[in-house]
Structure 1
Amino acid sequence: MDKPQWRHHSRNHAGACDFIGISKYDSSSEDLFRLHIPHQFKRKIDFNNPNDPLLLQVIPTRYEHREDQSYSDDPVGDQQANKGKGIIHKYHGRVLLITTGSCAINCRYCFRRSYPYAVNNASANNWTQALSYIKANDDIHEVILSGGDPLMLATKTLEKFSTQLQHIKHVKTLRIHTRMPIVTPTRITDNFLNWLHNLPFKKVMVLHSNHANELSSDLTNTFKSISATNTQLLNQSVLLKKINDNSQTLAQLSHRLFDFGILPYYLNQLDKVTGTQHFCVSNQQAKAIHKELLKILPGYLVPKLVVEISGKEHKSPLF
C-alpha cells in the first residue's frame, strides 16, 4: 500500500499567519479560490521576500477581484469539448480525462480554478463512462490523465483504470499531467513506481514547473526513479508576470530541468481565466522573450511558445 506520509504532506500547510507583513495578501480572495500550499513546496518559499517567485504563484491577492470582460471561467473551451463526465475530447487522437478535482497545490493562475469538478469526474463509477467513450472511438491512441492532479488519486485507483484501459487495443500511450513530483515528492512511492513501470503503454509524464527554484537538489532521486520506469519526462510552464517573464529566468529553468533529465515542452501563454489578469504577459513581450531563448539555448532546451484558443483543434504557436 502507498505510505500515508504523502497524504499528510499534500494537505494545506499555510495560513494567514504565514503572510503577515506581505501587503499584497488578501484573505478574501480565498473565497474565490481556496489557499492550498503543501508542506514540501512551502519549505522552498522565502516568506521574507514579498516578490519570491514561488510565493507569487500561490499567495491570494486583491488583484484577483479585478473584473475584465476578456477573462472568463472557461477560457480554453473545456465545457464545449466535454463528451461526458470528465471526458474532454478537443484534439485528434487524444482524449483528456479529468480524474479528480483535488490538487496538492492551488496555483492562483490555474485555468481550471472555476471548473465544475463535482459533476465532471471521469473516475466516478469505476471509470465506466470514460472507458466506454474511449472504446467507442478507435481513433484515440493517447489517453491523458489530468485534473486537478491525477496523482492525488491512490495508486490502486489508477491501477483499476489502467487494468481496464489495457484491453482497449487502439490505445498506445498514457500521458500524466502532474505537479506532484515537484510539490509533494513523497507521492512517488515504490508502489506507484511499480505501477508505472508495469504499464503496457508508451508512457509520458508532463510536469508543471515555472521556476528553477522549484527544482531543488533533493528531487534528484525522485526524477531518476520515474525515468527508470521508461517514462518520458517533459515539462510545461506558464509565462507569468513578475515570476518568469524574462529570458534568463526561463533559460535557467530549462538548464535545471535538463539536469534532471526533463525536456522543456511548452511555454504557455496565460489562459485568461477570471481573476488572473495580474499574471498576464503581452503576446508582444512573450514573443520577444522567446526570441531571446532561441539565441541563448540549444534548440532542444527551447520550449514551444503557445496559446490555447477555445474551439481550435490544436494549440496555436506564437511566432
Structure 2
Amino acid sequence: MIPAAPIAVQPAALPHTPVAQRWQQLWREAVRDSRELLALLGLEDAGLAISDEAAAQFPLRVPRGFVARMRHGDPNDPLLRQVLPLDAEMQPMPGFSLDAVGDGAAKAGNGVIRKYRGRALLVTTGSCAIHCRYCFRRHFPYAEETAAAGGWREAVALIAQDHDIDEVILSGGDPWSLATPKLAELTDALAGIAHLKRLRVHTRLPVVLPERVDDALLGWLRSLPWPVTVVLHANHANEFDADVDAALARLRSTGATLLNQAVLLRGVNDSVDALAELSERGLAAGVLPYYLHQLDRVQGSAHFEISDEAALRLHRELAARLSGYLVPRLVREVAGDPGKRPLQP
C-alpha cells in the first residue's frame, strides 16, 4: 500500500467538494501519466518497459484511490500490471484482432449489440474511470457507436419493437461513468416497454471509484421497475478495501444482486491462491463469483494470456479448494456462439 500521508495519493481529502460532485472530481484527478504512476509507487528506477506508444493508442487512466491499493515498491503488483502501458502491447501477435468478440457483426443498431437470445446490450458510453490494458473494447469505435446518440431513441425503439428481448444490459465503456440523470433518462424510456423483465449493469466503478455509489445513484436504482443485477469486475482480492466494501453494502441495500466477473490474467491472478482469495474476499463484501473469462484475444493483450490447459488446471484446483458457490464458471466468449462457451478438458 502507498503510505497515507501524501494528499496527491489520498483522494479522500477533498473537504470543499460537494458530495454530489465528489466522484466526478476524483475522476478528473485520476493519474494519466505512466511516470507519475511509477513515482507514486516508488518505482521510478525499476526498469519497467513502459510504452509511450501504447499509452498514445490507449491512454493510461487510473483513479488515485485504486493506486493507493497498489503495493509500494513492487513492480509486479497485480493491480499495477492491469493498468501500466508496456512495450509488450506493441508486439504484433497472430490470432489477436481489433474486435476479438465479434461486436461489429452483432450490431443491431447504433450502440445496440444482439448476441444472445432474449438480451440486448447497450454500449452506453465509451468512458471508463480506469483503462485496463486487456480491455476487449480498447479498439471499439465509441465515437460512432454509442446508444446514447440521439437521446437513446434508436436503441429504445429497437428494443420496443423486438418482443423477444426481456433483458437489457447496460455496458460500455462503463455505464456508471454517465451522470445519474442521464441514466434515468434511459431507464425512464425503457420503463414503457412491457416485455422487459430485467435490467443488468456491467460496471467496474464501484470497485475502482467507490465514491460513484452516491445517494443519487442509489435513489435511481431503488426507483427502477425491474429486478437489477449489478455485475462487477474485480480481478484480484487487493482491489477490495473498506471504501469498496461500504459502496457494495450501499448497493445491496437497494435490493440489487451483486455478481463478479474476472479475467484470467498472467501475472495478476494466475494462481489458485489468488483466485481463491478473490472469491472469498468478494463474498465477504457480498458479491458472488459469476464468470472467470479466458482472455479475449484483442490486439495489445497477448502478454496477459495463459493457455487453456493452465486455465483448466487452475479451475480444477479452485473447485477442489472452495465451496461450489465460490467457484466461477470458466468460459470464453467466441464470436457467433449463442452464449459464453464453457472451457472443457
Give TM-score, length-normalised by structure 1.
0.98
* Highest RCO, 1 vs 2 (Cα 8 Å, sep ≥ 6): 1
Give the letter aligned to residue 315 of structure 1: K
Correspondences of 1:1-319 after superposition (within 5 Å): 3-11=20-28, 12-15=30-33, 16-19=35-38, 20-22=44-46, 23-319=48-344
- Paired with 2:252 and 2:151, the residues of 1 have a C-alpha distance of 29
- Paired with 2:50 and 2:332, the residues of 1 have a C-alpha distance of 29
Moved more, 86-95 or 41-50: 41-50
Contact 1:44 / 1:214 at 8 angstroms: preserved in 2? Answer: yes
Give the letter aligned to residue 218 of structure 1: D
- Paired with 2:60 and 2:323, the residues of 1 have a C-alpha distance of 38
Deviation readout 1:37-56 (Å, 9 max, x if unpaired): 11211111224110000000
Contact 2:207 / 2:240 at 8 angstroms: preserved in 1? Answer: yes
Q: How many residues align?
A: 319
Secondary structure, aligned partner of 1:157 = helix
Give TM-score, length-normalised by structure 2.
0.91
Aligned in 2, Cα 1:157/1:2: closer, same or farther, shift over 3 Å?
A: farther
Deviation readout 1:261-302 (Å, 9 max, x if unpaired): 100000000000001100001000000000001100000000
Runs of 4+ in 1 over 3 A off after TM superposition: none
Residue 69 of structure 1 deviates from its aligned partner by 2.2
Residue 18 of structure 1 deviates from its aligned partner by 2.6
Secondary structure, aligned partner of 2:221 = helix
Moved more, 215-224 or 94-103: 215-224
- Paired with 1:229 and 1:39, the residues of 2 have a C-alpha distance of 27
Contact 1:241 / 1:280 at 8 angstroms: preserved in 2? Answer: yes
Contact 1:5 / 1:186 at 8 angstroms: preserved in 2? Answer: yes
- Paired with 1:117 and 1:73, the residues of 2 have a C-alpha distance of 13
Contact 1:76 / 1:271 at 8 angstroms: preserved in 2? Answer: yes
- Paired with 1:58 and 1:144, the residues of 2 have a C-alpha distance of 25
Give the letter aligned to residue 31 of structure 2: H
Moved more, 4-13 or 54-63: 4-13
Deviation readout 1:118-160 (Å, 9 max, x if unpaired): 0001011110000000001101010000000000100000001
Q: Give the unaligned 5+ runs of structure 1.
A: none
Secondary structure, aligned partner of 1:235 = strand
Give the letter aligned to residue 166 of structure 1: A
Give the letter aligned to residue 283 of structure 1: D
- Paired with 2:211 and 2:37, the residues of 1 have a C-alpha distance of 23
- Paired with 1:298 and 1:158, the residues of 2 have a C-alpha distance of 37
Contact 1:66 / 1:275 at 8 angstroms: preserved in 2? Answer: yes
Contact 1:142 / 1:172 at 8 angstroms: preserved in 2? Answer: yes
- Paired with 1:24 and 1:240, the residues of 2 have a C-alpha distance of 18
Q: Give the unaligned 5+ runs of structure 2.
A: 1-17, 39-43
Residue 24 of structure 1 deviates from its aligned partner by 2.4
- Paired with 2:83 and 2:323, the residues of 1 have a C-alpha distance of 31
Contact 2:175 / 2:201 at 8 angstroms: preserved in 1? Answer: yes
- Paired with 2:25 and 2:172, the residues of 1 have a C-alpha distance of 20
- Paired with 1:288 and 1:116, the residues of 2 have a C-alpha distance of 36
- Paired with 2:164 and 2:45, the residues of 1 have a C-alpha distance of 55
Deviation readout 1:16-72 (Å, 9 max, x if unpaired): 233222322222211121110112111112241100000000000000011112000
Residue 190 of structure 1 deviates from its aligned partner by 0.3
Percent identity reads: 45
Contact 1:2 / 1:191 at 8 angstroms: preserved in 2? Answer: no
- Paired with 1:241 and 1:18, the residues of 2 have a C-alpha distance of 21
- Paired with 2:211 and 2:204, the residues of 1 have a C-alpha distance of 12
